[in-house]
Amino acid sequence: MNKRVSFKIFFLAVLLLGITSLLSCGSGSSTNVGGQTGSVTAQLHWVQKAGSSVPSSGKQTATAPQGVVTVSIAVSGPDMSNVQKDFPASAGTGVIDGVPVGSNRTLTAQGLDASGVVTHQGTKGNITVQTGQTADAGIVVMNPAGQTFTVSGRVTLNGSGLPNVTVSLQGTSSNSTTTDPNGNYTFTVQNGSYTVTPALAGFTFTPANRPVSVNNSDVTGQDFTAAAQTPSFPARSR
């Protein structure tokens, strides 16, 4: 057989094998392949506002407080668009379908009055959604809107606090602050998912950032260790 013809046959065979391999890889279980979706469900427990008509003010109950008419629930994730669904508050639970499969999903629920004003809210993170299945997020505590908590930590260099480090908070809300003379920082936030990132010229940080989930309590110990960058000099020409 002519060597040129043999080479063409060999090339076509390799090309066909490569295409087949790509197609087989595409049929795997990667996140959100082919628009695969599942569902998320949760049960809401409500915290009464101080001064409400309910005698046990501050106590959790499975019944929505008086005045809450609608619950709006959204599921979000780093690799998907938000999926939102509304339910009557009297239902106490609900299923949000059409959620792209994957991990690190966050459920955010808001209780609204008849005018659409948010009176209560709650979040639940680290939810994994699988194809055709319903992930149970469990109990989501619905706190009165505006209730806040703190996220705090310390930035150190060689064991001592490092001042004037810019610390940024991104997520449900965004903010930034600087560390005090002892390297401490504090944010005041509502329930939600956040990422905390330090920055200071001439330094690197370990870890580079920290994911934080605030769920009805303060989050402490979000610490970072700084290291001075080694200056680099251009090579001298001979």
pLDDT at 220: 96
Q: What percent of the chain has pLDDT over 70?
A: 78
State the Cα angle at 157 between 153 and 159, rounded to 5°. 80
Banded pLDDT at 234 (limits 50, 70, 90): low
pLDDT, tens digit (0-9, with 9 covering 90-100), for 44-69? 988 876 544 333 334 678 888 889 99
Q: Of the ranges 29-38, 73-82, 91-100, which one carries the lowest mean pLDDT score?
A: 29-38
pLDDT at 70: 95
**Two tokens, residue 233:** 């000099």
**Two tokens, residue 77:** 């994730």
**Rg, Å, the chain Cα set:** 26
Beta strands in 10-117 (DSSP E): 37-47, 60-61, 70-77, 80-88, 93-100, 102-112
Domains of the chain: 35-144 (2.60.40.1120), 149-228 (2.60.40.10)
Mean pLDDT, the chain, as a whole number?
82
Check if the beta carbon of residue 96 is closer than 8 Å to that of residue 117: no
Query: What are the DSSP calls for 103-164, one per residue?
Result: EEEEEEEEEE-TTS-EEEEEEEEEEEE-TT-EEEEEEEEEEETT--EEEEEEEEETTEE--S
pLDDT at 24: 36
CA-wise closest residue to 215 among 186, 184, 193: 193
pLDDT at 21: 38
CA-wise closest residue to 193 among 92, 115, 125, 119: 125
Query: What are the DSSP calls for 161-183, one per residue?
Result: E--S-EEEEEESS-EEEE--TTS
pLDDT at 144: 85
Mapped onto helix, strand or coil, the DSSP state of residue 66 is coil
**Two tokens, residue 36:** 């695969």
pLDDT at 7: 47
Q: Which of 135 and 145 is assigned the larger pLDDT? A: 135
pLDDT at 174: 84
pTM of the full predicted structure?
A: 0.52
Q: What percent of the chain has pLDDT over 90?
A: 51
Query: What are the backbone angles phi and psi of residue 83, rounded to the nearest 5°?
Result: -115, 120
Cα 224 from Cα 204, distance rounded (Å): 10
HSE of 38, CA atoms in CB hemisphere, 13 A: 20
Q: What is the mean pLDDT of residues 126-143?
A: 92
pLDDT at 137: 92
